[in-house]
Amino acid sequence: MTEQRQQGFDTLQIHGGAEPDPATGARQTPIYQTTSYVFRDADHAARLFGLEEVGYIYSRLTNPTVNALQGRMAALEGGAGAVCCSSGHAAQILALFPLMQPGCNIVASTRLYGGTVTQFSQSLKRFGWSATFVDTDDLGAVEAAIDENTRAIFCESIANPGGYITDLDAMARIADKAGLPLIVDNTTATPYLCRPIEHGATLVVHSMTKYLTGNGTVTGGCVVDSGKFDWTASDKFPSLSQPEPAYHGLTFAEAFGPLGFTFHSIAVGLRDLGMTLNPQAAHYTLLGIETLSLRMDKHCANALRVAEWLEKHPAVERVSYAGLPSSPYAERMARICPRGASSIFTFALKGGYDACVRFVDSLELFSHVANLGDTRSLVIHSASTTHRQLTEAQQKAAGADPNVVRLSIGIEDADDLIADLDQALAAAG
């Protein structure tokens, strides 16, 4: 037999995880709007509930539309399996759930989306978990933060909002040395610009709400499992390496091999946490992914033009975009994200906080919303919104200083975007 050829990204974003509907021949993946599924007989039902056979039981756990999306996400990221859920925040909890016990901690980058910092620093405490935040450019500090109760290292490939690019290869080496999984939020980069598993990541999480769907219609999250981590190498991950009482002593890592984490996240995580992705949201996301590479190329090209223009504007103090030749992360971008630095970046205004507010209020084409990764260009003042709950020191560490504005550049005509920015900067004084 000849070895199967690896399909290209543009092919996988259309065909990955989906076949024509076996019942009707429908070419587009149907929306299976159902809560439950008829079992063939009592033995079939028992085998499904005992995880002895793969199939559909109840849509909190599995659904054919969602399953197609999971297959596509795994294919695009180069993972063994994927689990989709209701939001990016849900995906982060779903990723940690099989790894953590009360008293355990994670080591997390200081350069994270503000909502993630709040989730990790505040809400994780309710589970008896904790997070230690470190500057991931200080590799010594990352290693020093790891202790006997650490169960994962967490970072973003391209950080929101500042566009900082993490050295994933270096982070993976630290994680491997400590026997820990590396979890990478790849929302800003998407698998088109960065494939963290190829740089040593164990798990990849996404807010599919952003670039993957691309049209600002639904929320969704995803956890992609590389299938490469040995959960049985230590006693740190008993949920995966030890018998599960709810399934008559089945051990997920042994029973499902590279898919142990994926099956646990469905059979236990979705079963008990209930972070279900609805099939209509999965359908919209599948449609969005079909044009992901085309959109990301335009996003990146527009972002570079706008960033270059802003860098020369007299009212602008600095621009933080890894795609600029002047960026301290330009070399890292070429290695981690060779196709581009995405289209989210920040810039600081010399006029400070008040000038930022006037600037945002004066924009006409840009939409002032708490979202990113849309086909439309978006703007937000992070310090007063998405990062408002953080301390001033946390805001600064995340690149969300009071005089900083975040842009998410869409796929409109770049000249029109620049014209809108120009008039708003003039209005801001």
For residue 363, the 8-state DSSP code is: -
DSSP letters spanning 180-231: --EEEE-TTTHHHH--GGGGT-SEEEEETTTTTT-SS----EEEEE-S---T
pLDDT at residue 382 tops 90: no
Q: What ranges do the domains of the chain cover?
A: 9-288, 292-428
Level-2 CATH architecture, domain 9-288: 3-Layer(aba) Sandwich (3.40)
pLDDT at residue 282 tops 70: yes
Q: Which two tokens stand for residue 185?
A: 């939020």
- Whether omega before 22 lies within 30 degrees of 0, making that bond cis, reads no
CB-CB contact of 395 with 387 (8 Å): yes
Which of the four pLDDT bands, split at 50, 70 and 90, describes residue 386? low
- Residue 398 confidence (pLDDT): 65
pLDDT at residue 58 tops 80: yes
pLDDT at residue 180 tops 60: yes
Q: Which two tokens stand for residue 116?
A: 């993630």
Sign for the CA dihedral angle at 60, 65, 71, 77 comes to negative
Tens of pLDDT along 224-273? 999 999 999 999 999 999 999 999 999 999 999 999 999 999 999 999 99
Which of the four pLDDT bands, split at 50, 70 and 90, describes residue 392? confident
Phi and psi, residue 152, nearest 5°: -170, 160
174 vs 393, higher pLDDT: 174
CB-CB contact of 188 with 78 (8 Å): no
The percent of residues in the chain predicted with pLDDT above 90, rounded, is 88
Tens of pLDDT along 120-138? 999 999 999 999 999 999 9
pLDDT at residue 400 tops 80: no
> Residue range 52-65: average pLDDT?
95
- Taking the domain 292-428, which CATH number applies? 3.90.1150.10
Least confident of 28-32, 110-114, 320-324: 110-114
- Residue 160 confidence (pLDDT): 85
